[in-house]
Amino acid sequence: MAEAPMSCDCFVSLPPGSRDDHVIFGKNSDRPRDEVQEVAHYPAASHPPGSTLECTYIQIPQVEQTHAVVLSKPAWMWGAEMGANDQGVCVGNEAVWTREPVVPGEALLGMDLVRLGLERGDSAWAALTVITALLEQHGQGGQCKEDPVPFSYHNTFLLVDRNEAWVLETAGKLWVAQKVTEGVKNISNQLTVGAEISAEHPELRSVAQAQGWWDGEREFNFSQVFSPENPPARMELAKQRYKGGTELLQQHDGSVTAEVMMSILRDKPSGICMDSGGFCTTGSMVSVLPRDTSLPCIHFFTATPDPSRSIFKPFIFSDCSTRVLRVVSPQFGPDDPVRKQPRFQSQVDRRHDLYKAHQVALNAMETNPDEGSVVHEILRDLESQCLSEISAMLSGEIPGDELGDLFFDCVDTEIKFYH
């Protein structure tokens, strides 16, 4: 069995941490090395009253209206590692283990909660209340990787909009949240909310006291009270990455841009860009959320593993936004191993067109390093051109509606280049 994933990392910069009057969000998704991550756009939709929604493992009641979303998601599950909606909200999650045991059985995955928060929340706080309400109703749990060997966890979330960010940390159905209104913040696979609590589950402290974890008198510090006494090695390693990520953010405090966030996600010495044994960074996302609501939000995705050897491609919500099928994985319907019982007894090829082309190109670059460095430079030039166009749009030089197909164009160009 491959080792359990050791990391994911989420970052946010709010003015004055950002160079411009923008909120910058970033996340690396670190997952099993061969797991394919797709980028899928789902338009806003209306749903009949009383309808149900099929998540990864369970059905829940559907709401009557859902927002348009763009998601970077493991291709086998319904939920997402990270994404954004057309209301200017971004959400990413992290695996975490606490003193509350992970309940066996199938419930909502943390990744399902990411997508549900985005589909139903029109602000970071609204998405948070969606997630906490669903936690209370349905709980969290279920197999978290495409493998029959049991592996599940609790979750922390970073929820961001144009004005503020929220860190939401959970332990079973219990939760605590911290509001962030300025500067820089990052989370990793550990509890980080201490005594500075902005909101919490109404029974959080009484449960902690009943379990003997807190005496009811000393200051209530969530991370100290709920962190496990003998944390998994991956949580201990996350402390190093959390510290490294904090240092990288602080180095750029006051000057964070999309380019800076991309460079942080590409940083290998810190472990932020992961390439360790059976696990690696399988997808990355950076978002720019201008405080000026007349300007669109821009969301960059790699749709391929290892951001140091991938390019970020910009997505902008527009009336004509359509799914870019070349970064969407094949569907297998009822024959999908995740749908059959018992689950995950076989494997299917979930690679999308860009993933395949990227794989071939990486293999060729490893065979011929000199040629590989040239390819790398050309791809980074393509990324720089996109960033320049985005910058021009945000400064008013280019109308935003002219860039609605930029994600499609970048994906198409990248695949043609690889071929």
Give pLDDT tens digits along the chain (419 positions).
334 445 689 999 999 999 999 999 999 999 999 999 999 999 999 999 999 999 999 999 999 999 999 999 999 999 999 999 999 999 999 999 999 999 899 999 999 999 999 999 999 999 999 999 999 999 999 999 999 999 999 999 999 999 999 999 999 999 999 999 999 999 999 999 999 999 999 999 999 999 999 999 999 999 999 999 877 766 767 787 888 899 999 999 999 999 999 999 999 999 899 987 788 999 999 999 999 999 999 999 999 999 999 999 999 998 877 779 999 999 999 999 999 999 999 999 999 999 999 999 888 888 888 877 888 888 889 899 889 989 888 888 877 666 778 899 999 999 998 88
Whole-number Å distance between alpha carbons of 188 and 141: 19
Q: Residues for the chain: how many in total?
A: 419
SS3 for 60?
Answer: strand
* Confidence at residue 229, expressed as pLDDT on a 0 to 100 scale: 86
SS3 for 286?
Answer: strand
CATH topology of domain 9-349: Penicillin V Acylase; Chain A (3.60.60)
Please name which of 351, 352, 262, 242 lies closest in space to residue 307, comparing C-alpha atoms. 262
Catalytic residue annotation: 8
Q: How many CB atoms lie within 10 A of CB 386?
A: 22
Whole-number Å distance between alpha carbons of 385 and 96: 38
Q: Are 273 and 307 in contact (CB under 8 A)?
A: yes
CA angle 183, 304, 390 (to 5 degrees): 50
Q: Are 23 and 12 in contact (CB under 8 A)?
A: yes
Helix 110-120 vs helix 124-138: crossing angle, to nearest 10: 130
* Confidence at residue 276, expressed as pLDDT on a 0 to 100 scale: 73
Residue 62's identity, in one-letter code, is Q
CA-only gyration radius of the chain, Å: 20
Whole-number Å distance between alpha carbons of 94 and 77: 16
- In Å, how far are 167, 200, 218, 257 from 12, measured between CA atoms? 10, 21, 31, 11
Q: Are 43 and 108 in contact (CB under 8 A)?
A: no
CA angle 385, 24, 182 (to 5 degrees): 150
* Confidence at residue 400, expressed as pLDDT on a 0 to 100 scale: 66
Q: Are 56 and 142 in contact (CB under 8 A)?
A: yes
Here the tokens at position 372 are 């590989």
Helix (H) or strand (E) holding 124: helix 124-138
* Confidence at residue 401, expressed as pLDDT on a 0 to 100 scale: 65
Helix (H) or strand (E) holding 416: helix 406-418
Whole-number Å distance between alpha carbons of 219 and 233: 28
Whole-number Å distance between alpha carbons of 92 and 321: 22
Query: Looking at 233-331, which runs of residues are DSSP E strands?
Result: 275-276, 279-290, 298-301, 313-315
Query: Looking at 48-182, which runs of residues are DSSP E strands?
Result: 52-54, 59-61, 65-66, 69-74, 82-85, 90-96, 154-160, 165-171, 174-180
Helix (H) or strand (E) holding 370: helix 369-394
SS3 content of the chain, % helix, strand, coil (to 5): 30, 25, 45
Whole-number Å distance between alpha carbons of 89 and 161: 5
